[in-house]
Amino acid sequence: MSVRPMPGRPALDRRTLLKLAAAGGIALPGRSRAAEPGRNFRITMVLGRGESDNEFGFKDYLARRGVRADFTIRNTGGDASKLPAIIEEIKDTRPDLIYSWGTPQTRALVGPYDEADPKLHVTDIPVVFTFVAAPIDARIVPDLARPGRNVTGTVHIAPIAVQLNTILAYRPVRRVGVAYNPRERNSILTLEGLRAECGPRGLELLEEPVPLDDRGEPVAAAVPDCIARLAARGAEVLYIGPDTFIAFHNRSVVAAEALRHRLPTFSATELIVRTDKALLALASSAYGIGRFTAFKAAQILLDGARPADIPVETLKRFSVIINMATARALEHYPPVGLLNFAEIVEGTPS
CB of 28 within 8 A of CB of 342? no
> What's the confidence (pLDDT) of residue 95?
98
Q: Which of 106, 148, 155, 156 is nearest to 307 (CA)?
A: 148
Asked if 80 and 106 touch (Cβ cutoff 8 Å), the reply is no
* 80 has a pLDDT exceeding 80: yes
Please compute the mean of the pLDDT values over residues 188-198 and round it to a whole number: 94
Question: For residue 249, what is the DSSP state?
Answer: I
Q: How far apart, in whole angstroms, are the C-alpha atoms of residue 249 and residue 269?
A: 13
Residue 88 has pLDDT above 90, yes or no: yes
For residue 111, is pLDDT > 50? Answer: yes
In this predicted structure, the answer to whether residue 5 has a pLDDT above a threshold of 90 is no
pLDDT at 124 over 80: yes
Is the predicted pLDDT of residue 6 greater than 50, yes or no? Answer: no
Which pLDDT score, from 0 to 100, does residue 173 have? Answer: 97
pLDDT band at 350 (very low <50, low <70, confident <90, very high): low
- pLDDT at residue 16 greater than cutoff 90: no
Mean pLDDT of 193-220: 96
Q: What is the chain's percent helix, strand, coil content, to nearest 5?
A: 40, 20, 45
The segment with the largest mean pLDDT, out of 7-16, 29-38, 230-239, is: 230-239
Q: What is the mean pLDDT of the chain?
A: 88
pLDDT of 22 > 70? The answer is no
Question: What percent of the chain has pLDDT above 90?
Answer: 75
**Beta bridge mates, 343:** 321
pLDDT band at 36; cut points 50, 70, 90? low
Q: What's the pLDDT tens digit per position in 126-175?
A: 999 998 988 998 999 999 999 999 999 999 889 999 999 999 999 999 99
Say if residue 241's pLDDT is above 90: yes
Q: What is the mean pLDDT of residues 113-133?
A: 95
pLDDT on residue 38: 61
Q: What is the pLDDT of residue 10?
A: 41
Task: Please give the residue that has the higher pLDDT: either 32 or 331.
Answer: 331
Half-sphere exposure (CA, 13 Å, Cβ side) for 324? 8
List, in order, residues 6 or more apart from 236 with CB less than 8 Å away: 173, 174, 175, 176, 177, 263, 264
DSSP character string of 61-105:
HHHHTT--EEEEEEE-TT-GGGHHHHHHHHHHH--SEEEEESHHH
Cα–Cα distance, 109 to 128 (Å, whole number): 11
Amino acid identity, residue 343?
E
Average pLDDT of 270-286? 92
pLDDT tens for each residue of 296-341: 999 999 999 999 999 999 888 899 999 999 999 999 999 998 988 8
Residues 6 or more apart whose CB falls under 8 angstroms from that of 165 comprise none
CA distance 299 to 117: 26
Per-residue pLDDT for 342 more than 60? yes
